[in-house]
Structure 1
Amino acid sequence: MLDFEIELNKLLSGEVEQLPRYEIAQAVEMAALGQDLADDLRKKQTDVSLQVEEIYDLLKEQNTLAGENRHVMTVLQEALETEKKRADTLALGTIALCDLLENFCTYAQQSGSEELKNQADILWTQSGRLLADNNIVRLGAEGQPLDPRIHTVQKGVESPFPREQVLELLQSGYTYKNALVRKASVVVSLGTGEVKDGE
């Protein structure tokens, strides 16, 4: 059994002084190390927390920007669609005016006036160039072979010209931006023989 008085006297006399001091120094050193580790851990936790907050803020900002970008893209898309519809409407309106011009040119050709015929030819040619400059192409011409992709046959007549050759253009067809808007209405030859030279 431990005699408390004897141990106390040893402690006070310095006989065991070294051991307790060593253990206390070790304990203090270990405590200091533990404190340093705890401080480092707290600092790292704080740094990580700050980084997490920064990342969260960046994500919020990115989401906000993405939302704004989506809104801007939606507005731009709507504006583009509106402009496309407007351009398509103008193209269709232009084609309707061309139909009136074509009627006038047909009338001019039948009028018997050479001056009117010449003026109508010039007007028709110039209008074709102007249309092409704006992505509208006129389809159909007399003398070309029948092409079901661009021609609608209204009538077939016997003639000395080759079978399925366009004899008469009743109404021009049109493409807009390479898309077919309307086929040309034509009269074609049923073909009873070739045209002979001089006839």
Structure 2
Amino acid sequence: MAKSDKRQLIMTAALQLFAERGFHGAPTSAIAAGAGVGVGTIYRYFKDKDSLVHQLCTELHQHYQQTILAELDPRLPPRERLEQIFAVLLRIFIAAPDEFRFMELYYYSSYATASASRFPEEDSIVFQTIREAREQGLCKDAPPRVLEALAWGPLVALAKEHSNRNLVVDQKIMALTVRASWDAIRE
């Protein structure tokens, strides 16, 4: 098995265990067992479990950004771009509940505020587009961080219902939720 294959097995097992058990409930021994590798193999790829957690977040965030950018029409006005971004993110969250649970766990943990965190700040496409919409007077007069929090509310709530309670989400519900995210911040 190639080195990159073992690394990916570790990342996949870690994602699943973190999503199911949280960070403290997923020791490296369980991650190694889930990946079908020895515990020492994890340390060939990652300095420690914290590094694994941060790297997993970084790679998922990069994947989300790339997916958004591949589907985004930058010529659209900010409102339509935000709705397009929200739709892509909601699709990702619904299709990959373990990823969603992991990112949610990360965001509300000490990992996201640690100095080693690679969690995105003002460089995210969501933040940039909200800031642009606000500058054009399309959004409420609030700091972009507040607007971003308001916009995330409906998306995260629906993804949680799907992930944690098996709510069936169809295209109509997704469209309704995307509109609710925009409605939360619009002027």
- Which range, TM-score by smaller chain? under 0.3
Q: Which has the larger radius of gyration?
A: 1
* TM-score scaled by length of structure 2: 0.27
* More helix per residue: 2
TM-score, normalization by structure 1: 0.25
The structure with the greater share of residues assigned to strand is 1
